[in-house]
Structure 1
Amino acid sequence: MRNPKIRPFEAHDYPAIAEVLQAAWPDEAQSVDRLREDDRHAPEIKWGRFVAELEGQMVGVAHYTQFEGMYHPQKFGVWVTVHPAFRSQGIGKALYRVVLEALQPHDPISILSTTREDQPQAMAWLKKLGYAEKMKYWESRLDVRNFDFASWAGKIEAVEAAGFQLKSLKELEADPQHRQKLYDLWLEARLDVPRPGELSEVRFEDYCKWVFESSYYLPEGHFVAVDPHTGQYVALSTLWKTDGDYLQTGLTGTRRAYRRKGLALALKLKAIKLAQTLGIREIRTGNESNNRAMLAINEALGFVKQPIWIDYLLTLREETPSPS
């Protein structure tokens, strides 16, 4: 057992934290810019971070936060990451104890954490702490450079022939209402996205900050289907920049009244075509394990499943129902 120095995070720690995360998750792009952007929370979000050092070297990091879009004042997420070279030395346990102490003034009723099935030590540790499986989801990856459009000939054209316009937000920026229309579509599409907690309200202003003020926003990669009869956006599929040589899929969804018309597939094909044009190596996406509709589309397109991610929930006490 080692006795690390654990202290609150400071702004100058970002580069060392990114190094720890990159070592722990080498197939995920980590960067100082990404960490800084993720730390720009809404005012109501309570969060904190602690780092562990041995002989001046950062060897672990832990943080707690709340979820914009799934906000509850007493529900939190906690993640503990230890550099692979320093695991099984009690560093993770020490960080976790400090985080729990920091949470106590906020009177938490539950804590969510996440790991991947190829991390059996982390899975066993969470279960030992009393966490129970809440939700599973796959990350799937598409080899963009070898994608063959011949098998999908006519799919985009068929949707356009039915009267729908398939546009990127870059093409729609001249419309002063394009942000509002995207937000309205997103509000409906998000209702069908599986998640480990209850939805909370997201104001239009906050949504615009998430999307349009993000340094990872890719307007030419945000595609929507437009019903020309109403001008309404009725389906979307989005691509986001990353700090790696891949693009990340955001939300793909269709308004309920417009389903089974091939809109989601056509938009994903538009996204793949853009990625090929940009010389992107890979597109990544995530789907809840029981979301067969979207999994089926991605499987057909050739996305390859990676080890499954698992959300674990620690229930500290039962939630008191709100008075009716």
Structure 2
Amino acid sequence: MTGTVQSSTAQPGTLTIRPGTDADLPTLARIMSEVQPAHPWTPETLAHELRVLREHPKRPHYTDWIAEQDGEAVAVASVLQFPGMFHPERYHAELMVRPTARGQGVGTRLAAVLEEHLRARGAQEVLAGAYEDQPEALAFLTRRGFTEAMRFFDNVLDLDTFDAAAWAGQGALPDGVRLVTLAALEQELGQEAARRAYHAGFAEAREDVPRTGEATPLTFEDFQKRFEGPTMFPEGIQLAVTAEGEVVGLSELWRAEGNPARLNTGLTGTRRAWRRRGLALALKLAALRVAREEGAKEVWTGNATTNAPMLALNDRLGFRPRPAFVEFKWGGV
């Protein structure tokens, strides 16, 4: 979960703020989905993500709160340490207020709770954010001393308008490389061998993905937990594999829980020695063929606005950017 702020500044009515529990996951999922409908959550997905956090060897911190007005949940907030970019003094903050509860000071009260908690933990860096078409949320962060660090586009491809015929014959692979899905590779090599090859390619490719801090090394044991999530789609994971069995490129599709018409792109990347040889295009085209076969109507992906090569490729394929998520930072480590 990335840091998010949706808030307001007027005085509230009767408001109570309490720590959340696992029993509140349906409430968190409902409010998070209401505030950011483009990125909905389910209790099952939240439960999986929390279990991954709690079992991670870095022991990242996580806590959340529920704001209730006259007994009704109107806002949620959380503080966590993201395992993929871990530093013991870096935290991510989320704060989301339902649209019907804005303008009543709920966000201000919750922000005070978050700030007190972060001070008590000795936080030296806090990351949070909002979308660029949410000026009140951006101003809320700015007033609290946050400054912009990076922007990330949602890029969306409408498969009804994607001209597959225009790409016929393109996306050839280099000699000695074949395209195979993760599901097929598991059948060929066995599950563990296939996943270890996938992990090796993934771990190197992700190191160069733009982010606001250094990537934490990804162990195979932690990587394995990805396969336990409710949106895992092995047939949608395209791998470029050499004759020696090395995964040198990949493009991932994940299911969008509760929306069979949408697929989400995970990582698309190649190992450093294999870049600028057409692998990304071949992998993306293969993934889009799978998406069409699955009956999906849209494919979503996220890209840092500084990732010019991937943005250019997605633009060629017909992906179109939505408002960018603006990540803000306070302090530094």
Q: TM-score range by the shorter chain?
A: over 0.9
Distance apart, 1:11 and its partner CA: 2.3
The CA distance in 2 between the partners of 1:205 and 1:30, in whole Å, is 25
Report if aligned partners of 2:233, 2:255 keep a CA contact under 8 Å in 1: yes
Report if aligned partners of 1:145, 1:280 keep a CA contact under 8 Å in 2: no
Distance apart, 1:238 and its partner CA: 0.3
The CA distance in 1 between the partners of 2:33 and 2:228, in whole Å, is 25
The CA distance in 2 between the partners of 1:56 and 1:85, in whole Å, is 15
Distance apart, 1:100 and its partner CA: 2.1
User: TM-score w.r.t. structure 2 length?
Assistant: 0.91
Within-5 A mapping of 1:1-324: 1-2=11-12, 3-40=14-51, 41=53, 42=56, 44-156=59-171, 158-159=172-173, 162-174=175-187, 175-176=189-190, 177-209=193-225, 211-228=226-243, 230-243=244-257, 244=259, 245-315=261-331, 319=333
Report if aligned partners of 2:197, 2:246 keep a CA contact under 8 Å in 1: yes
Distance apart, 1:104 and its partner CA: 3.1
The CA distance in 2 between the partners of 1:234 and 1:274, in whole Å, is 20
Q: Identity of aligned pairs, percent?
A: 38
The CA distance in 1 between the partners of 2:139 and 2:316, in whole Å, is 34
Distance apart, 1:33 and its partner CA: 1.4
Distance apart, 1:272 and its partner CA: 0.6
Distance apart, 1:27 and its partner CA: 2.6
Report if aligned partners of 2:203, 2:217 keep a CA contact under 8 Å in 1: no
Report if aligned partners of 1:145, 1:276 keep a CA contact under 8 Å in 2: no
Q: Which amino acid aligns with 1:234?
A: V
Distance apart, 1:18 and its partner CA: 2.1
Count matched residues. 313
Deviates most, 194-203 or 269-278: 194-203
The CA distance in 2 between the partners of 1:88 and 1:62, in whole Å, is 17
Q: Secondary structure at the match of 2:268?
A: strand
Deviates most, 173-182 or 113-122: 173-182
Q: Which amino acid aligns with 1:14?
A: L
Deviates most, 250-259 or 97-106: 97-106
Flag structure 1 segments of 5+ consecutive residues without an equivalent: 320-324
Deviates most, 121-130 or 245-254: 245-254
Find runs of 4+ consecutive structure 1 residues off by over 3 angstroms.
Answer: none
The CA distance in 2 between the partners of 1:202 and 1:152, in whole Å, is 35
Distance apart, 1:302 and its partner CA: 0.2
The CA distance in 2 between the partners of 1:26 and 1:115, in whole Å, is 13
The CA distance in 2 between the partners of 1:123 and 1:166, in whole Å, is 43
Report if aligned partners of 1:68, 1:202 keep a CA contact under 8 Å in 2: no
**Who is 1:322 aligned against?**
none
The CA distance in 2 between the partners of 1:231 and 1:198, in whole Å, is 29
Distance apart, 1:90 and its partner CA: 0.8
Report if aligned partners of 1:145, 1:279 keep a CA contact under 8 Å in 2: no
The CA distance in 2 between the partners of 1:28 and 1:213, in whole Å, is 20
Flag structure 2 segments of 5+ consecutive residues without an equivalent: 1-10
Q: Which amino acid aligns with 2:37?
A: P
Q: Deviations over 1:193-221 (max 9, x none)?
A: 00011122222101111x22222110001
Report if aligned partners of 2:32, 2:40 keep a CA contact under 8 Å in 1: no
Distance apart, 1:10 and its partner CA: 2.0
The CA distance in 1 between the partners of 2:22 and 2:221, in whole Å, is 27
Report if aligned partners of 2:152, 2:326 keep a CA contact under 8 Å in 1: yes
The CA distance in 1 between the partners of 2:120 and 2:40, in whole Å, is 34
